[in-house]
């Protein structure tokens, strides 16, 4: 086991921060001065170090590039008005990361490495957390198979790395979505619940085709009947029907258990909505739309928090919404942001102080 005392720190000689304008940041393009890198070898984690952000030197035979044993997480840190920095629900991401690792036959990353490594890394690069409203520091932990060997088997060596990227306000323009009828993202028994790199690769063609047809994303349906809703692109999806919020349940193992999803469920309940985590068919969505009870449809995820869906196309029928009149999802966003930026008390214990 590695304790934080075992993380070897080498500081960058000078910060790149002075060359970067934190006002106008494209998502995921700039990285902070340091990174955490740890090796897994012979059944244990070793060589934990924080060092200047730099390229990796890998052999072409490195297993992850061939067979895709690669998983990741997406987390954010925020600064409040007093300049204190907090990470949003990192323990939930740790749990999910280790579930993903288990499913891909990869080793568990201990809490001391994941949480303490992240905390120490952010503390060192604290000046990179933007303090402007709506800005944050995006945290990307990831792990990949690093055996130099192209035989097919679970790798014996892995690398666990954390990199950090300052991000500006993510203006999530309301989306036009197409119900995907041909391609699928996840099947029961598959890896849909894991935050695996391969899930993203497998989704790209459908998404590209939807974009060619003028949509922003696809609504993924179940793999067997193409009848039940799964997710919207790389976000979880919510339907507000009357006074009930419905989101697909996690029991089939086809849904990524979003931390934003879980947070939205808690906030919606506090706002007086009944929340149902269950199977919801596209026919039920259509019926509610036609009856006029389908009020709001939105996606949730760390990058954008909430993305409104202004149009949902199924076969030749387009459901359209007047998103400016919505009340539930703007209030979920307002409440979540108020907690993240320390404007409201953190009653759920979501904020982890750095």
Q: Does 236 bind ligand PLP (CB under 6 A)?
A: yes
Which residue among 258, 280, 307, 332 contacts ligand PLP (CB under 6 A)?
258
Sites for ligand PLP among residues 300-319 (CB under 6 A): 300-302
Name which of residues 271 to 300 contact ligand PLP (CB under 6 A). Answer: 300
The structure tokens 């300052």 sit at 166
Provide the 8-state DSSP code for 171. Answer: -
The Cα–Cα gap between 217 and 318 comes to: 14
- CA–CA dist 260, 253 (Å, integer): 18
Does 259 bind ligand PLP (CB under 6 A)? Our answer is: yes
As measured in angstroms, the least distance from the Cβ of 54 to ligand PLP is: 26
Cα 264–269–272 angle (5° rounding)? 130
> Under rule CB under 6 A, which residues in 30-69 are in contact with ligand PLP?
none
| Best CA proximity match to 109, nearest among 57, 47, 53, 159 | 159
CA distances to 57, 146, 215, 258, 309 from 49, rounded to whole Å, are 16, 17, 43, 29, 43
Whole-number minimum distance, CB 124 to ligand PLP, in Å? 24
Smallest separation, CB 5 to ligand PLP (Å): 30
Measured from the CB atom, the residue of 153 and 348 that comes closer to ligand PLP is: 348
State which residue, 176 or 195, has the beta carbon closest to ligand PLP.
Answer: 195
Which listed residue (206, 241, 256, 267) binds ligand PLP by CB under 6 A? 256
Strands (E), 98-241: 136-145, 158-167, 175-179, 217-221, 229-232, 236-241
Closer to ligand PLP by Cβ: residue 135 or 195: 195
**Residues in 178-207 that interact with ligand PLP by CB under 6 A:** 195
- Spell out the residues 6+ positions from residue 324 whose beta carbon is closer than 8 angstroms to its own: none
Please give the Cα distance from 345 to 36 (Å, whole number).
Answer: 31
Tokens of 126: 């604290």
Task: Kindly state whether residue 234 participates in binding ligand PLP, applying the rule CB under 6 A.
Answer: yes
Q: 244-247 and 236-241 as β-strands: parallel, antiparallel, unpaired? A: antiparallel
Residues 63-82: x where in contact with ligand PLP by CB under 6 A, - otherwise, as a string: -----------x--------
Q: Is 146 in the site for ligand PLP (CB under 6 A)?
A: no
Of these, 135, 261, 295, 340, which contacts ligand PLP (CB under 6 A)? Answer: 261
User: CB of 76: closest distance to ligand PLP in angstroms?
Assistant: 9
54 burial via Cβ count (<10 Å: 0-12, 13-18, 19+)? exposed
Rounded to a whole number, what is the distance in angstroms from the first to the last CA of the chain?
22
Stretch that binds ligand PLP, among 53-61, 148-156, 227-235, 269-277 (CB under 6 A): 227-235
The answer to whether residue 333 forms part of the interface with ligand PLP (CB under 6 A) is no
Looking at residue 97, the DSSP 8-state letter turns out to be H
Could you tell me which stretch among 120-128, 131-139, 174-182, 252-260 binds ligand PLP (CB under 6 A)?
A: 252-260
Residues that bind ligand PLP (CB under 6 A): 74, 195, 231, 234-236, 256, 258-261, 300-302
């Amino acid at each position: 086991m590695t304790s934080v005392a075992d993380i070897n720190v080498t500081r960058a000689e000078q910060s790149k921060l002075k060359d970067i304008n934190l006002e106008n940041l494209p998502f995921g393009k700039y990285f902070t001065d340091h990174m955490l890198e740890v090796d897994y070898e012979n059944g244990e984690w070793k060589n934990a170090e924080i060092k200047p952000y730099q390229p990796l030197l890998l052999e072409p035979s490195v297993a992850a590039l061939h067979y895709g044993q690669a998983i990741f997480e997406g987390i954010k840190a925020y600064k409040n008005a007093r300049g204190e920095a907090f990470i949003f629900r990192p323990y939930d991401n740790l749990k999910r990361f280790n579930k993903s690792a288990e499913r891909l036959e990869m080793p568990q990353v201990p809490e001391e490495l994941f949480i303490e490594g992240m905390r120490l890394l952010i503390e060192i690069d604290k000046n990179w957390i933007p303090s402007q409203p709506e800005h944050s520091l995006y945290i990307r932990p990831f792990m990949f198979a690093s055996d130099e060997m192209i035989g097919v088997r679970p790798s014996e060596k892995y690398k666990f790395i954390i990199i950090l990227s300052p991000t500006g306000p993510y203006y999530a323009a309301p989306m036009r979505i197409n119900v995907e009828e041909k391609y699928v993202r996840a099947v029961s028994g598959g890896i849909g619940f894991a935050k695996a790199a391969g899930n993203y690769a497998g989704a790209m063609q459908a998404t590209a085709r939807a974009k060619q047809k003028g949509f922003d994303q696809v609504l993924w349906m179940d793999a067997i009947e193409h009848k039940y809703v799964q997710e919207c692109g790389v976000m979880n999806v919510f339907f507000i029907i009357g006074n009930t919020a419905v989101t697909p349940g996690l029991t089939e193992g086809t849904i990524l258990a979003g931390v934003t999803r879980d947070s939205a469920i808690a906030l919606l309940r506090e706002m007086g909505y009944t929340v149902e985590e269950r199977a919801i068919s596209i026919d039920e969505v259509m019926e509610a739309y036609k009856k006029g009870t389908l009020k709001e449809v939105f996606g949730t995820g760390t990058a954008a928090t909430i993305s409104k869906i202004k149009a949902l196309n199924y076969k030749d029928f387009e459901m359209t919404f007047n998103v400016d009149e919505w009340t539930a999802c703007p209030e979920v966003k307002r409440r979540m942001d108020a907690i993240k930026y320390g404007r409201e008390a953190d009653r759920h214990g979501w904020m982890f102080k750095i």
